[in-house]
């Protein structure tokens, strides 16, 4: 309604002007805003393998949950939460990526001279955050430098059933690592693009790193669809608590821009 009213007013002014006066040219559309925002809900079928130690009184447990078993290994109450977001101003951006995931491995095994069955329950929060600078941006793609941090919060519960007794321990740890990384995007044409991202860090952890590769399809100006594979690994230990694992599996999602 506002646009229609403005157009009618312009026409009225033109009709009352002398015939010799040139008509007023139509106004150019305003330049696009340098600000943009995006939200990306996704699902990551992350299998988990590595070593988990809950306390000094229990041996380290080898866990192995394949991504093909993830739907029966996920703790659905509360359900997993996975969402990323970005606020951008021209070539500068702030980003965040939040994951809450509960996993149980009922087939774990403890190291030692006697075979011991282990049940491990993990509730974990992984929050990646930081800023980026896009130093390449053209019709072929883009590249950005990343810097920030990754915070982990882990609640672990281990139950070991040996030949004579059952032992149970639980523990909780929170730590954070600074990270640096690189994001690159290659335009393929027809609305398709390839995107790759990697980062690495250390601090509280011995090492904390990830790789992500996705195929993107631009369905609308405001919507893109993504599918790919993600690998995230960390090696953290504090006293008898140890979390040396890799989470990896296929990932699908959508990005909404406004």
What is the residue whose two structure tokens read 């594979």?
229
In a domain, 28, yes or no: no
SS3 content of the chain, % helix, strand, coil (to 5): 10, 70, 25
pLDDT at 206: 97
pTM of the model: 0.83
In a domain, 231, yes or no: yes
Please state, for a pLDDT cut of 90, what percent of the chain lies above it. Answer: 61
State the chain's mean pLDDT as an integer. Answer: 85
In a domain, 74, yes or no: yes
| CATH number of the domain bearing residue 65 | 2.40.128.90
Q: Is the model's pLDDT at 110 over the cut of 80? A: no
**pLDDT (tens digit per residue) in 55-101:** 666 678 888 888 888 888 888 888 999 999 999 999 999 999 999 99
Q: How many domains does the chain have?
A: 1
**116, 109 Cβ separation under 8 angstroms:** yes
In a domain, 16, yes or no: no
> Given pLDDT bands bounded at 50, 70 and 90, which one contains residue 123?
very high
In a domain, 114, yes or no: yes
Q: Which residue has the higher pLDDT, 213 or 71?
A: 213
Domain range for 104 = 35-257
Q: Is the model's pLDDT at 173 over the cut of 90? A: yes
Q: Is the model's pLDDT at 5 over the cut of 70? A: no
In a domain, 7, yes or no: no
In a domain, 50, yes or no: yes
Distance from C-alpha of 125 to C-alpha of 115, rounded to nearest angstrom: 31
pLDDT at 225: 98
The CA-based angle 169-59-243, given to 5 degrees, is 80
């Amino acid at each position: 309604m506002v646009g229609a009213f403005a157009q009618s007013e312009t026409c009225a002014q033109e009709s009352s002007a002398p015939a010799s006066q040139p008509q007023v040219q139509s106004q150019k559309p305003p330049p696009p805003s340098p600000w943009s925002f995006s939200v990306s809900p996704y699902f990551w079928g992350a299998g988990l393998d590595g070593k988990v130690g809950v306390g000094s009184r229990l041996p380290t447990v080898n866990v192995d949950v394949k991504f093909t078993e993830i739907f029966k290994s996920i703790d659905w109450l509360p359900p997993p939460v996975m969402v990323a977001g970005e606020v951008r101003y021209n070539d500068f951006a702030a980003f965040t990526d939040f994951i809450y995931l509960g996993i149980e491995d009922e087939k774990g095994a403890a190291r030692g001279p006697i075979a011991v069955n282990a049940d491990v329950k993990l509730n974990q929060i992984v929050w990646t955050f930081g800023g980026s600078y896009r130093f390449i941006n053209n019709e072929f793609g883009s590249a950005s430098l990343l810097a920030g941090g990754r915070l982990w919060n882990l609640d672990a519960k281990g139950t070991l059933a040996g030949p004579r007794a059952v032992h149970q321990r639980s523990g909780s740890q929170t730590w954070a690592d600074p990270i640096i990384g690189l994001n690159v995007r290659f335009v393929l044409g027809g609305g398709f693009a390839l995107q790759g991202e990697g980062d690495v860090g250390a601090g509280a952890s011995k090492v904390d790193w990830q790789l992500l590769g996705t195929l993107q399809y631009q369905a609308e100006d405001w919507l893109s669809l993504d599918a790919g594979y993600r690998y995230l690994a960390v090696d953290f230990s504090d006293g008898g608590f140890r979390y040396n694992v890799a989470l990896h599996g296929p990932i699908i999602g959508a990005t909404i821009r406004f």
